[in-house]
Amino acid sequence: MNRSFRFLLFVWVALAAGAPAAPAQTANPHRFESEIAAFEAADKANPPPKNAILFVGSSSIRKWTSVADDFPSHKVINRGFGGSHLSDVDYYFDRIVLPYKPKMIVLYAGSNDINAGKTPETVVDDYKAFVQKVGSALPDTKVAFISINTSPARWNEVEKVKQANRQIADFIAKNGKLIFIDTFSAVLDGEGKPRPELYVQDRLHMNAKGYAIWTAIIAPYLGPPE
């Protein structure tokens, strides 16, 4: 290896080591247009109930296919769309939240945001934006936020998840109309790690056992049977 080549190699390694971290991935909300349009078509064909409880958010909501059966005493609408960020829920608010005029919204999102490189502060800001939209358009609607879960597949992100949860919980504590539903610790084992038996093969999404835990925790927040 000649001297010039060694010098260039040294410079390249030094620059690489000092390179800034990659920026957060920009989420283009238009990637969900077909899914949102499908919701709208379904609503035209079979109008959803009024004054219902709307579950909205990312794939942990979308994959909760038993949600109506899990809360049989309530009118429930599921509008989860997989891979979405909180910013996507904000973007489509007028199409997947506002038309239903729900009496309560149960929101779960944030994990994909952090996985894409967004900071906990960005997640919190997007949550606050959602709350502001609800307050302006649906002032009588309650908003419950399900804490962002960790999982075996995303365990390396757990500290950022904790930060986001803590900041959102602190914000909610100062607002009597908002609800924080803490499911985070319920899916952990005695060592504080995700319980693998609660997840499907991808080690990211919960199975029926995981949703049973969510159901038991969330049910008391939904109010009396209808």
Q: What is the CATH number of the domain that holds 163?
A: 3.40.50.1110
| pLDDT band at 226; cut points 50, 70, 90 | confident
Are the CB atoms for 149 and 187 separated by under 8 Å?
yes
User: Is residue 101 included in any domain, yes or no?
Assistant: yes
Domain total in the chain:
1
Domain, as residue range, for 157: 32-222
Query: Average pLDDT for residues 48-69, to the nearest whole number?
Result: 97
pLDDT value, residue 17: 39
Own/partner pairs, 182-191, CB within 8 angstroms, 24+ separation = 182/147, 182/217, 183/146, 183/147, 183/149, 183/213, 183/214, 183/217, 183/218, 184/147, 184/148, 184/149, 184/150, 186/213, 186/217, 187/149, 187/150, 187/213, 188/150
Residue 109 maps to a domain: yes
The answer to whether residue 40 sits within a structural domain is yes
What pLDDT digit, counting tens, does each position of 63-99 carry?
Answer: 999 999 999 999 999 999 999 999 999 999 999 999 9
**193-209 pLDDT tens trace:** 999 999 999 999 999 99
| pLDDT score recorded for residue 177 | 87
Query: Is 22 within a domain?
Result: no
pTM greater than 0.75: yes
- Identity at 59, one-letter amino acid code: S
Taking residues 156-176, report their average pLDDT: 96
